[in-house]
Amino acid sequence: MADWADIPVALPPPGGMAAFELAGLELVLCNAGGAACVIEDRCPHAEVALSEGRLEGHVLECPMHGGKLDVRDGRPAAPPIRRPVRTFAVRQAGDRLQVEVSPHA
C-alpha cells in the first residue's frame, strides 16, 4: 500500500530544483519543463547531492563528474552514471503536491 505525503517545498520554476527531507529520505523536487519529478538526492555514481547540479529540460547533470540522468524515470543519460537513481511518484492533491513514499522500498 502506498503512502502519500505532502511535499514540504514549493515547485520551483522550470529548470529549478528544491531539496527536502521526508520519511528519512533526502529528496529533490525537480521542475522538468513544467512537470514535477522527485528523485533521491544522491548521485548513484559519486554519492553527492544531485540538487547541487544543473537541470536542463528533464536531464540533470551531476555537479561532481558531469554524468547525466533523466529525472522522469531515473535512467542514466551520460557517463559516468551507469545505475539509475531512485524516483518517486508525484501527484496533485488540491493545491499541494504529494510524493509517494513506500515504507518497503
Using CA atoms, how far apart are residues 9 and 19, in angstroms rounded to an integer?
Answer: 8
Indicate yes or no: pTM above 0.85.
yes
Locate all alpha helices (DSSP H) within 2-101, ordered by sequence.
none
Using CA atoms, how far apart are residues 58 and 79, in angstroms rounded to an integer?
Answer: 16
pLDDT tens, per residue, the chain with 105 residues = 679 999 999 999 999 999 999 999 999 999 999 999 999 999 999 889 999 999 999 999 999 999 999 999 999 999 999 999 999 999 999 999 999 997 654
Q: Are 68 and 62 in contact (CB under 8 A)?
A: yes
The third-level CATH classification (topology) of the domain covering 4-100 is: Rieske Iron-sulfur Protein (2.102.10)
Residue boundaries of the structural domains of the chain: 4-100
pLDDT digits (tens, 9 = 90+) for 84-97: 999 999 999 999 99
Identify which of 77, 104, 100, 103 has the alpha carbon closest to the alpha carbon of residue 27: 100
| Helix (H), strand (E) at residue 58 | none
Beta bridge partners, 76, equal 69
